[in-house]
Amino acid sequence: MLIQILRFLLDTVLGFFIFVLLARFYLQLLRAPFRNPLGQFVSALTNWLVLPARRFIPGMFGLDLASFLLAWLIEALLLYLLYALRAGGAGGTSGLMVGIFFSLALLELARFSLYLLIGVILIQAVISWINPYAPLAPLFNALTGPFLRPFQRLIPPIGNIDLSPLFALVVAQLLLIPLEYLTRSVSLLL
């Protein structure tokens, strides 16, 4: 029972922090405005780790590599800790195992990114229906715009209703299926 509690706490705390680091990465990648409560929350929560890391991990081509690499390292650490709890101790870890942890962490980040996209699309769709002029609307429009535009070009609005979020959600769900299968396959190597 104690191991289950510890696993839950590790997964919750580190998982939340990984999501926030990924959100910061995508906010900067998609040039979303940070001058809103959500952007300030993400910055305040991650500045203590990202700003010092930027001294050693420079950005490249507009990518905030420090945020992404920190999310990747924390995900790999989380996977290792969960594995160590399941196996009953840390024990020795071979180079192959470290490679598997980092590969699995990268797959998990891709999966988390799709879940973030799904959540952001759902929130943006609700905001566009309820209050398209809400203070957070520009943030969610900036985050979903690059993913919805290809569908908006192909699918015209029907009765002034934009169906592009629905199609983007379907594509994201379709991408999750092989990604989760691949993640399970790699995790079997542990």
CA–CA gap between residue 124 and residue 117 (Å, rounded): 10
CA–CA gap between residue 65 and residue 61 (Å, rounded): 10
**pLDDT of the residue at 3:** 87
Q: Give every CB contact of residue 17 below 8 A, 6+ residues apart in sequence.
A: 45, 46, 74
Cβ count near 176 (within 10 Å): 16
What are 28-38's pLDDT values in tens digits? 999 998 889 99
What are 100-148's pLDDT values in tens digits? 999 999 999 999 999 999 999 999 999 999 998 999 999 999 999 999 9
What are 146-173's pLDDT values in tens digits? 999 999 999 988 888 899 999 999 999 9
Task: List the Cα angle 139/76/85 in 5-degree steps.
Answer: 125
